[in-house]
Every structure is written in C-alpha cells, then in structure tokens.
Amino acid sequence: MKPSDDPESDDPELIAYLDGELGADDSRTVESKIGVDPAMRVKAEEYKKTYDLLDYLPKPEPSPTFTTRTLTRLHPVNASSTVVPNVPALTRNVWPELLLWALALVAVGTAGYFGHSLARSYWNPVPEAEKFDQADLPLIHDLPYYLGVDDLDFLKLLRKAEVFDDSGSAATPTSNEPRETVSLVAQQKLIEQFLNDSPARRLQLRSLHRELNELPAPERTSYRRTLESYAAWLDRLPDNSRKEILAAPTSGERLDAVLRVRERLWRESLPPSQQKALKTVASVEERTQLLNEWRRGEQSFRSEWELTRQQWQPNKLGDHKAWPFYDAALSKSLDEFIRKSFGVDLSQPPDRKTDVAAPCRLTREELAELRYRHEAALKEGYWYSYGACLLQLAELHPMLPEPGKGKPITTVDQPPLTKEKVRSLLPKDGGTPILARLKTLGRWPDFALEIQKLDANSREKLPPLGPCKPGEFGDELEQFLKGDLLPKLSKSERDKFDHLQGKWPEYPRMLIELAKAKNLSVPGAMLPGEPKLWNENFRIGKK
Amino acid sequence: MTGQTSTMMALRDPDIRLMLRVRADDQAAFGELVERYQHRLVGIMGHIVGHATEAEDLAQEVFLRVYRTRHKYTPKAKFSTWLFTIANNLALNSIRDKRRRAAVSLDVQDSSFQGSRPSEPRTPDKSVPPTLRLQQEELAAVVRRALDDLNERQRVAVVLNKFEDMNYSEIAEVMGLTTKGVKSLLSRARAKLREALQPYIYMDGAEPPADDDDDTGAP
C-alpha cells in the first residue's frame, strides 16, 4: 500500500469523519465510500491506529514544586508590570544580567551587605510575605491542623459528610484557649514551614484562620475538633493516600478523595475471613450488600463505643453509678427483672454446663456478653456499656407478664396443655413427634408463644396460655394497671385495649405498647424505670 | 462582549470565575488556577517541544503571562481556550527561536533534544519489519520522532486534537486559523504521521482490514 496520498484524495474528509467533525450528510457519504472501497477502509483503520500510537508518548508531569515556584515568581512580575522579560524561564542564562546588576550596585556605592542582599532578592526573589509577621503566630501554632484544608467550605463539607468525629475529647482546646505550649524549636520550624509556603497558600491560611476564629464559640470548637480529627487521620495515612487527598484541586474533589481513601482503607482493613468471603461473591449487588451489612455492624459498634466514651469520663470522675444503677430500689428491681426475664442470676458464677439451660433465654454469646459487661460495670465503672447491653437484650427477648396465679406455662404437661395435645400440634415427620425438640421448653413466655403459634391452625383452639385480662396478673401489675396505666389512656386507646381482653398474647403485648407510649414500665415485663430514660441513655444509634 | 454575556460565561465556566478573581488581584485564585491547569499545560507543552524541563519552563511562562495580562482579561471564550492560545503562541515562538539559534550556530554542538537525537534515518527502513518485541520506550521514541518531523503548526494541531480532545473550531480559535484551515492542517499532519508510523501500525498482531487491492494503496 502506498501511504503517500494524492492531495486531491478523500483524506481530509475521511480524517474529519474519524474526528467526528462531519455533519450527518457528509458522514453518510464517507461511510458509503468506506463500505464499497476496501482500500479506504484500510486507510481509515490506519489513521485510527496511527493516532492510537501517540498514546505511547510519555506524558510529562509538573514537578512537585511547580506551583510554589510559579507563585514565587509573581513578585518580580508585580514589581515590574511594564517590563516583561521575554524568556524568563528558570533555565535561562542569568549571568550577564547578574554582572550588570553587580556593576550597577558597585557604581552607586551600595556594594557589600546591602548590595548582596539586593542582588539576592532579585535572583531569588523573596515575596514580602516571607518576612515574618508576629500577627501570624497564632495561625502558625495551628499550622499542623490546616494540612489538607483550603477553606472553611471544605471544613463544612467534611462536617456535613460526618466522616470525622467532631465530639472530640473534653480536653480539646478551643481556638481562643491556650493550646499546648510550643517549644521555641518547634515554633521556629513551623514559622519556616509557613514562610516556605507559597504566597497564595499563606493568604489562604490567613483567611481560613480568620474565618474560623470569627465563628461563634460552640461552632468554632466543633470545627476545631473536626480539624484535629482530620489532621490526625491524614498524619496516619500512607504517603500515597495522603498525596491523593492533598492533590485534589477543589474542596469537592478533596472530599471525594477523603471518602474514597476511607472506603479503600476500610476495605483493606477487613479481617481475612471477610476479604475471602468478598472474593467468593460473584455479583456486584451481592458484594455491595455484604459490604453494607458489615458497614452497618461497624457503625453500630462505633456508636456503642461513642456512647461509652462520652459517658465514661464523668462516670469515672464522680465515681458514681449511672442511672438507674445508683437508685437502690430500681437496681434491685433490675436484678429481679434480669433473673425473671433473661432467666439469669448474675450473682452466681458462670457454669458452662448449666448457664444457658432453661430458664435462661439468652444464647451462650449473649450471656457471655452480659456477664462481661456486668463485671466491667462493677469493677471498672462501665455502667453505660452495661445499660446498653441490657436494653439490647430486653429488646431481643421481649417479656410478657406472668400470671398472678400459678406458674407460667413452660412445660408440656401444664394445664391446659397435655403431652398428647402438644404432640398433636407437632409435625409428624413419619414417626412420633419428640417433645424434647421444642427448644423453648422451660422458658417463659417463649414456650407458650411457640405452642400458641403451633396451635394457630388447629381446629380445637387452646385456651389463652397466659394472663390476658384484668384480674389475671400479679398484684403489682394489677395495681399498675388500675393506678398508673388505665387512667392515662384516652378513650380510643382504652377501647382498643379492652377489645383485646381474653386474647393472648395480643392483650399483654398491647399493655406493654401502651405503657411505653405513656413512658411507664410494666412491672416484671419491662426494664424498670422510665422507658424514655433507657432510650436516651442507652440506645445505640438512632434514638 | 457585553457585561451580561461576560457574566453568563462566568456563570457557566468556573475557571472564568477564578480568572475574574485573578483579575481582581486575588493571588490565591491564581494559585488555584496554576494547580488546576499545570498538569494539562505541562503535558501539552511536553508533547509539543519534546523536552520535560523546557515544557515546565514554558508552562510556567504561560501562567506568568496570564498573571501579567490579568487586568486586560475579558471572558470571550472558554478559559481553557484563552489559556491554550497563550500556550500556542509561546510554544511556537520557542520552537522558532530554537531553530534560528540552531541555524546561526551550526558548528556548536546542540545540547537540546534536537541535537541529542539518535542518528537514525527519519523514515524507517520498510524492508526490515519492526520486531513485535519492540519495547514501549523504543516505540515512544519512534512516535516522538514522527511527531517532531511535523512542522510546528501541524504538531500543535495534532497535540491539541489528540491530547486535549479539542474539536476543529476550538483548535482554530487557539491557533488563529479557520476551521477549514485546521481540517487541512490536520489532514496533512495525519497523513505524514501515517507514513512515518506505518511499519508500527500492526505490530500489536492485529490483522489489517481486508483489502483486495493492497498493493495499489490509495483508491
């Protein structure tokens, strides 16, 4: 093939077509020619491939100091707005000019120190701002916190994204409070660092510092905590990740980089088992779902830690137990609730063989967690952590009031149950149903609820398996019902509630719901103390 | 350009807003502009002049010119178009200066990239097929030579088209040409590139499209 083309050839049209520069009609013309002319087809392909070869050229990148060096050169530009040097590139030959300058300096009798300084200032121009100004000292002390922050807008974006904790420690100083004393050596280094920054960056820093200090005190404190948290995080990052963030040209892109790096580091920090699990998942959707699940788990853990951390300090300082643990009566009720509702006696030492046997309603892990938190509260004062654990367990294993008379139904031979009746409810699976398969045996209200569920489809329904109208509860609950709850119900609430009388477990469940709505605790069926206080003090995540 | 049009353009192009701040002597805005454009500018200059240090110097000079002429700035086009117009002028001047200097001092060993080029024939010997194992660096050198063999205006047009993804009318604006002129310039440049790089086009092993009349070349 002859690559040299006739100047009258179709090449300009063909190339314009390849560049997407032709209109619809002209494009169709070229396409039809390509369709019938194999040589033109080859040529089109070759033009494309030739252009692709240009991708082999290495792309020059600016040196890391490019911006600084460019901005430093603004000074002579500013000083001589009318005299524009023609080729003032860094590599130019400056010696003749230097000589002229030196001669001129000698001629005017300003040789020596002043002449030297002047010459230096020309060849190595030092912007005015490099002369240290005492007014910059507060800013300079804060310099380490301003790394990777250009303006207040970026800080606002960071806060909005809630990626950095701004709650901080109580000891974090606010801007106008004295920070840690900076040694003279450290101060000098910071001053040098500040003066080495480009003029543009120094202006940026001054503006950021000023805007930050003009904020109202509480807001300023919060921003400063975000700053500190962000700076500490940046400091811990691997170099390449830090560069990725610092290189972002705008606030929005920097935030994107922060979120990207956080996500990447989080993924990399996943335990090997989770990394392996992630690799085995083929579809993107499933992988995303899995990651979201793990992220939620971690957020929950973080919230929990935050709760503990926030409340640990005053708790330890005052050596006081948190509510409700400092209240002797409530504390006693709580122990009773734990014993009855979870089937656990925390005063007894752990026993692996019998610990989770009935009447215990907790799993082995849950029980271990409860014991650990209880112990940490007693020995170390982690009452909030213990409270949060109790609230979680109470919600995982909701309780229902026990009957006032007789024992709650927890076995197959308690009236109205009989072994035969229970067997009749169980799936046959070809042989005689084995009652021992009922995992809830011995546990109130789980067993009764399981039987009730099995009975749902039977022809001869069992009578209620628990108390479900006034007069059937224990004395304390009866008193609560008449004295506390019923007087607070509206007519419609009362009507709905009464309508469920005789129905188990609907009636006691509604009793509990109504009590929660009225911020009351149902004796024996709910954590003692106001539900609102439990919620405010111990709920992890959204309240 | 009316003030209203200028405002509309500024609203659309964030770089114009930035440049208007530079015009108002905001050095921080200038710093941001440098940060934003340094990679593109150094890259483009590098492709045009073929020398990293020189590219950086030229890019720096472009920025300084932007700063010096800031008070005269009026948004008339996309900011990048204005910036690359300055870059185009500087790059072309630099290449011509260098050529003049080289012509004056023929006896002096030229230390620039022109002088340091290997003394290989400009047109590859087509009787020797290029090895498929040609290293990327070698290929880059071949492509570099092909690009350097274009005249400076062809080179600028190709670089803007290929690496800045500029269409013909944008290139025309930057280079002070008509769109038709750019079409012609690019056509000649690409034909020349095709000729120079022909032996390397199918070195990736891909088969050329079916051509019943392979020996005849152009239709």
pLDDT value at A30 more than 60: yes
| Per-residue pLDDT at A472 | 92
Q: Kindly list the residues from chain B whose CB atom is less than 8 angstroms away from the CB atom of residue A15.
A: 183, 186-187, 190
Verify whether the Cβ–Cβ distance B139 to A53 is below 8 Å: yes
Residue A385 has pLDDT above 60, yes or no: yes
Confidence of residue A137 (pLDDT cuts 50, 70, 90): confident
Are residues B93 and B136 part of one domain?
no
User: Is the pLDDT score of A451 beyond 70?
Assistant: yes
Q: What is the pTM of this model?
A: 0.39
Instruction: Mark out the alpha helices in B13-167 (DSSP H runs).
Output: 14-23, 27-49, 52-68, 79-104, 136-148, 152-163
Q: Assess whether B90 and B2 both reside in one domain.
A: yes
H-helix or E-strand spanning residue B77 = none
Tokens of A184: 């003279």
pLDDT at A431: 65
The pLDDT score that the predictor gives to residue A267 is 81
Residue of chain A nearest B51, judged by CA positions: A60
Angstroms from B190 CA to nearest CA on chain A: 7
Spatial contact of B81 and B174, defined as CB atoms under 8 Å apart:
yes
Residue A207 contacts B where some CB pair is shorter than 8 Å: yes
Q: How distant is the Cα of B114 from the closest Cα of chain A, in angstroms?
A: 17
- Tell if the CB–CB gap between A53 and B47 is shorter than 8 Å: no
pLDDT tens per residue, range B32-42: 899 899 999 99
Looking at this predicted complex, what is its ipTM? 0.80
Quickly list H helices, A80-181. 95-107, 113-123, 137-141, 152-161
Assigned domain for B110 exists? no
Contact A377, A364 (CB under 8 A): no
pLDDT for residue A542 is more than 60: no
Mean pLDDT (whole number) for A442-468: 87
Chain A interface includes B54 (CB < 8 A): yes
Cβ-defined contacts of A319-327 (< 8 Å, 24+): A319/A381, A321/A377, A321/A381, A321/A383, A322/A383, A322/A384, A322/A387, A322/A537, A323/A529, A323/A533, A323/A537, A324/A387, A324/A528, A324/A529, A324/A533, A325/A377, A325/A383, A325/A386, A325/A387, A327/A529
Where residue A1 falls among pLDDT bands split at 50, 70, 90? very low
Model confidence at B90: pLDDT above 80 = yes
Same domain for B94 and B142:
no
Q: Which of B185, B207, B211 should one mutate to test binding to chain A, selecting the residue with the greatest count of A CBs within 10 A?
A: B211
Residues of B in contact with A10 (CB under 8 A): 219
pLDDT band at residue A222 using 50, 70 and 90 as cut-offs: confident
Count of the separate structural domains present in chain B = 2
B111, part of any domain: no
Q: Is B195 on the interface with A (CB under 8 A)?
A: yes
Question: Which tops the pLDDT comparison, A93 or B130?
Answer: B130
Measured between beta carbons, the chain B residues lying within 8 angstroms of A57 are: 47, 140, 143-144, 147
Is B208 a member of any domain? no
Pairs of residues, one from chain A and one from chain B, whose beta carbons lie less than 8 Å apart: 191
In a domain, residue B119? The reply is no
**B146 lies in the same domain as B59:** no
Pick the residue with more confidence: B192 or B94? B192
Q: How confident is the model at residue A499 (pLDDT cuts 50, 70, 90)?
A: very high
Question: Which A-chain residues 3-42 have CB contacts (< 8 A) with chain B?
Answer: 3-6, 9-12, 15-16, 19-21, 37-42
Q: What is the mean pLDDT of residues A224-235?
A: 83
Q: Is the pLDDT of residue B56 over 80?
A: yes
Q: Which of B39, B99, B94 is nearest to B63 (CA)?
A: B39
Using alpha carbons, list the distances in angstroms from residue A426 to A359, A409, A418, A453, A466. Answer: 22, 17, 13, 11, 20
Share of chain A above pLDDT 90, in %: 19
Same domain membership, residue B94 and residue B157: no
CA angle A398/A404/A405 to nearest 5° reads 125
The three-state secondary structure class of B41 is helix
User: With an 8 Å Cβ cutoff, is B216 touching chain A?
Assistant: yes
Residues B93, B3 share a domain: yes
Identify the domain containing residue B179 by its residue range. 129-203
Residues of A within 8 A of B186 (CB-CB) are 15, 19
Residues of chain B contacting A94 with CB distance shorter than 8 Å: none
Pick the closest to residue A414 from A388, A385, A443, A389 (CA basis): A443
Average pLDDT, chain A: 76
Show the 3-state SS of B158-218: HHHHHHCCCCHHHHHHHHCCCHHHHHHHHHHHHHHHHHHHHHHCCCCCCCCCCCCCHHHCC
CATH number of the domain where residue B45 is located: 1.10.1740.10
> Residue A217: pLDDT above 90?
no
Q: Do B42 and A60 touch (CB under 8 A)?
A: yes
Residue B62: which residues within 8 A CB-CB, separation 6 or more? B41, B45, B83, B86, B87, B90
Domain limits, chain A? 11-56, 134-268, 270-399, 419-525
CA B100/CA A73 separation, integer angstroms: 28
Could you tell me if B47 and B139 lie in one domain? no
B135 in the same domain as B96: no
Contact between A409 and A335 under an 8 Å Cβ cutoff? The reply is no
Alpha helices in A214-250 (DSSP H): 217-236, 239-246
Q: Tell me the shortest Cα–Cα distance from A234 to chain B, in angstroms.
A: 21
Beta bridge mates, A403: A473
Tokens linked to B194: 């095709």
**Which residue from A minimizes the CA distance to B38?**
A62
> Looking at the structure, do residues B52 and B8 belong to the same domain, yes or no?
yes
Residues of A with CB below 8 A from B167's CB? 19-21
Write out the two tokens for A72.
Answer: 């430093």
CATH number at residue B152: 1.10.10.10
- Is residue B216, in this structure, part of any structural domain at all? no
* A17 to chain B, closest Cα gap in Å: 11
